[in-house]
Structure 1
Amino acid sequence: MSVQQRRKYDPDFKRNAVLLSEEPGKAVTEIADNLGISRDLLYRWRREYRARENYSFSGNGRESLTPQEQKVRDLEKRLRDAEMERDILKKAMAIFSRTPK
């Protein structure tokens, strides 16, 4: 029993494969066979490219974000941190404002 190793493709290869597949007169199956990849993989790359164009194929499971998406993500993190600090301060205030028995 042999274990197949997962193949990795660089973003330029993926982008070029997608652009080739979108040319008129070429079948996706034919292009996939010529490139040595599966037809389903090429269709998946096409979906990703259509959804995110310049931000597609970031690699290593990392999502490429537009500058606006990155800003939103940073602001959400700052908000979570501020809410956590507020909650800690509320608990501390409750502890220190108790009257001793």
Structure 2
Amino acid sequence: MATRKHYSQEFKLKAVKLVTEQAQSPTAVARSLGICATNLRRWVRLSEEKKELAFPGKGHQALTTEQQRIKELEAEKKQLKMEQEILKKAMAFFAKDQL
């Protein structure tokens, strides 16, 4: 018995953007991502009908635009903190070489 694949909200949105914003064919995008073209066409249709509520993600609770923005900002903050730590370590490393 085959198991059903589950794709994340982020993956679906990126796949849909490749079709809608970059004007690529659903078949070509599906082939490059290794997914079924029928699924991708359904995702595109859903995103056109429901906009940001098309792929609710975990728990089947749709995120509002504000909630999505908060999620994006939190991810950006995490990335910036990681980059800051890397820079601190690099600065300490190069300061040690100066002595």
Q: TM-score band (shorter)?
A: 0.5 to 0.7
Match of 1:59 in 2: 57
Which of 1 and 2 has greater Rg? 1
Q: Tell me: CA distance 1:65–1:34, structure 2 relative to 1, closer, same or farther (3 Å).
A: closer
Q: Tell me: CA distance 1:61–1:41, structure 2 relative to 1, closer, same or farther (3 Å).
A: farther
**Unmatched segments (≥5 aa) in structure 2:** 65-99
For residues 33 and 5 of structure 1, what CA distance do their matches in structure 2 show? 20
Equivalent in 49, 72, 75 of residue 47 of structure 2:
49
**Unmatched segments (≥5 aa) in structure 1:** 67-101
Q: Which runs of 4+ in 1 moved over 4 A?
A: none
For residues 59 and 39 of structure 2, what CA distance do their matches in structure 1 show? 16
User: Given the two structures, how large is their TM-score scaled by the length of structure 2?
Assistant: 0.56
User: Given the two structures, how large is their TM-score scaled by the length of structure 1?
Assistant: 0.55
Compute the RMSD of aligned alpha carbons: 1.9
